[in-house]
Amino acid sequence: MTLMAEGVTVRFGGILALDAVSIEVQPGQVASVVGSNGSGKSTLFNAIMGFAGLASGAIRLDGRAIHELPAHRRVQLGLCRTFQTPRIDPESTVFDAIRSGGIMSLKSGLFAACLATPRGRSEAAGIDHRTEKVLEELRLAHLALARMGELPVGTIRLIDVGRAVMGKPRFILLDEPAAGLSHAEQDALKAQIRRLASEGVGVLLVEHNFRFVSDVSDHLTVLDRGRVLGSGRPGEVSKRPEFVRSYLGSFAGKASAAASPRAADTAAKAPAVMPMPLMECRKVTARYGGIRVCFDIDLDVPQAGVVALLGANGAGKSSLLGAISGLVQSTGSITLDGQRIDGLPAHRRSECGICFVPEIRGNIFPAMSVAENLELAQRRLCAQALDRMKAELEQMFPRLSERRFSPACMLSGGEQQMLALAMALSLKPRILLLDEPTQGLAPAVYDTLEAVVRAIVGNGIGVVLAEQNAAFAARLANQVIIIADGRVSLRTGAEILGDRERLLRAYLGAEPQEAA
């Protein structure tokens, strides 16, 4: 009576996404998987559910190998999952969204549905009844008729859990269910998870919110770059150094001593609050369609200074940067050098000097060569400026000229990050928005990256740095803003780096919300 993954290995092209990972969930147990971005948590879910093929290993349910079965058969056998990015139809009602989780349990088919036979109707009524029950358990009954698109992301996640529960699963896999949930919603979710476990359902949880994880889990597995780093009871695991490293950034432990003085240096050069910020954001709220992902955020960016946005995955950092750059729908005001820019389309904001480097190097053109990428970014420069820019970049990123003719997608992660920064600089930005520049990079690159960002700041550019890797961010930052659940949870100077306990608390959303 267990769900087991045995030595699961998954490859995407040449990349080893999971390397012989084994994990086990018992009925009535809550097991969690934690790990940084790109550690393979979602891939593990996909492998268990049948959305990703195994290179080797096995998935067993009650001892029976199920990894040859198509995904929907596995669901029918009693596995169920939620998605990290909720997959919703914004037009459907909450009631319908939850109800759809129960459809596979229908015994009557098409004819019953078309003819509305008594049996079909009673089955439908049964599903409706269960839906109502789940709504009540989640304390969402008042929202039954609301459209999914109008709800905040936290509520949507909760609904997604309800949808999974509807299928009466024996094992339920929750992919970051607590990201973006308010405390009250988190409590409702915790209660729901505990109830499920007490009813004998096995729960496998992937979650960044460590407080949440430690509250509900019986067992914890730490994944790091596709491998199991360690496992055990939550209380024990969180004390192990490898966990802290994986969670706060790979060199947090070793760097903390060295980083503080450097950060303090920078802080001394540029005071935490500039008298006249270069960019001011007031009450910025970002939304995708109808889903709001961060709320009323104020942000000032000084010239030649670094503001670090910290927070767990899904806290709303990227959305805020997207909102500032014009790629994500938003409300609130954004002023650059006294000029309102919030009404402009993204490419106009780029011309004004707002330059965004999205996560995973989202500003480069993978199919085009390095030279073409740079030419595109430099196309507005006059001949003189172009020569100067080329010389500057040559000096800053010597690797890039060596690889100028290879397509960007063939570069290593570190080289791609350099290209992404080079392209951003080519646009002559005044404000640079960096989203998780360290994501997926080997720690060896961190020092280079740090030097580059320092050089950029030295040129008088204001930088907003969104990072999960707190240690890396804090080495550069003049000001640190910690975002949890789409809201500012702590606003402080770089000195917080010295106080790892407090940083961890704020980071995990345990710090009291910012006093307005």
Partner 1 sequence: MELAEFVVRGALLGVTYGLIACPIALVYVTSGTVDLAIGAYVVLAAAVSFAAPGSVGMLLAICVAMVAASVVGVLSSLLTRRYQGDKLIVILASFGFAMMVESFVLTFFGKDPFVRQSGAAPVEFLGMPIARQSVISATIGLVLAASVYVLLHRTMLGREMRASADNARGAAIAGIPVRRVQLATFILAGALAGIAGVMTLHGAGLIFSSAVPLTITSLGGAIMFGLNRPLHAFAGGVVIGIVESLSAGFAPSQLSTLLPFAFIFAVLAFKAMHGTEMAGGRA
Partner 2 sequence: MRRRPALLPAATVVALAVLAAPLITGNLFWLDTSALMAVYALLALSVGVSFGLCGILSVAQASFAALGAYTTAILSTRYSLHPLVGLAAAIVLPAVFGYPFARLIAGMSHLALAVATLLFGHMLDIALREGGDFTGGYIGLSGLPPVPGPDSATWLHVASWGMVALVAALLGSLYASPYGAGMRSVRNDPMRATADGIDIGHMRGVALSVAAGIAGLGGWLYAHHVSYLGPESLGPAVSISVLLMAMVGGVSTVLGPIVGAVALTLLSTLLPGAEAAGMFYGGTLLLVLLAAPKGLTSLPALAGAQRGADAGKENGR
Cα–Cα distance for residue pair 65/46, rounded to 1 Å: 16
Q: Which is nearer to partner 1, 373 or 479 (CB)?
A: 373
Closest CA to 39 of 311, 230, 189, 202: 230
Site map 351..390 versus partner 1, x via CB under 8 A: x---xxxx---xxxxxxx---x--xxx-xx----------
Round to whole Å and give the CA distance between 174 and 48: 12
Q: 323 with 284: CB under 8 angstroms?
A: yes
Distance CA 514, CA 490 (A): 6
Establish if 36 lies at the interface with partner 1 (CB under 8 A): no
* 448: three-class secondary structure by DSSP: helix
**Residues 142 to 161: which contact partner 2 by CB under 8 A?**
144-145
CB of 515 to partner 1, least distance (A): 35
Phi/psi at 496 (5° precision): -60, -20
Q: Judged by CB under 8 A, does residue 69 bind partner 2?
A: no
Nearer to partner 1, 275 or 345 (CB): 345
Instruction: Single out the residue of 127, 138, 494, 504 in contact with partner 2 (rule: CB under 8 A).
Output: 127
Rule CB under 8 A: say whether 427 interacts with partner 1.
Answer: yes
| Residue 356 touches which member of partner 2, partner 1, none, C-beta under 5-8 Å by kind | partner 1
Q: Which of the ranges 22-30, 66-74, 210-218, 366-374 carries the binding residues for partner 2, by CB under 8 A?
A: 66-74
Of 424, 397, 431, 414, which Cα lies nearest the Cα of 306? 431
Residues 313-372 that bind partner 2 (CB under 8 A): 331-332
Candidate residues 1, 65, 104, 273; the one interacting with partner 2 per rule CB under 8 A: 104
Q: Which does 100 bind (CB under 5 to 8 A by kind): partner 2, partner 1, none?
A: partner 2
Interacting partner of 350 out of partner 2, partner 1, none (Cβ under 5 to 8 A depending on kind) = partner 1
Phi and psi torsions of 440, nearest 5°: 75, 10
451 vs 19, 363, 457, 472, CA distance in Å? 33, 21, 10, 12
Instruction: Tell me if 51 contacts partner 2 by CB under 8 A.
Output: yes
Local structure of 380: helix, strand or coil: coil
In whole angstroms, what is the distance from residue 126 CA to residue 209 CA?
A: 35
Determine which residue in the list 1, 65, 115, 273 makes contact with partner 2, applying CB under 8 A. 115
| Of the candidate residues 67, 157, 163, 225, the single one contacting partner 2 (CB under 8 A) | 163
Of 116-124, 189-197, 344-352, 481-489, the window that binds partner 2 (rule: CB under 8 A) is: 116-124
Q: What is the spatial distance between Cα 166 and Cα 490, in angstroms, rounded to a whole number?
A: 38
Q: Residue 356 CB, nearest distance to partner 1 (Å)?
A: 5
Helix (H, G, I), strand (E, B) or coil at 143: helix
Residue 363 interacts with, from partner 2, partner 1, none (CB under 5-8 Å by kind): partner 1
Sheet of 3-12: strands edge to edge?
15-25, 3-12, 56-61, 64-65
Distances (CA, A) of 471 to 304, 307, 512: 20, 14, 22
Q: Which does 381 bind (CB under 5 to 8 A by kind): partner 2, partner 1, none?
A: none
Residue with tokens 């992301």: 153
| Type of residue numbered 297 | I
What are the residues binding partner 1 (CB under 8 A)? Answer: 325-327, 345-347, 350-351, 355-358, 362-368, 372, 375-377, 379-380, 423, 427
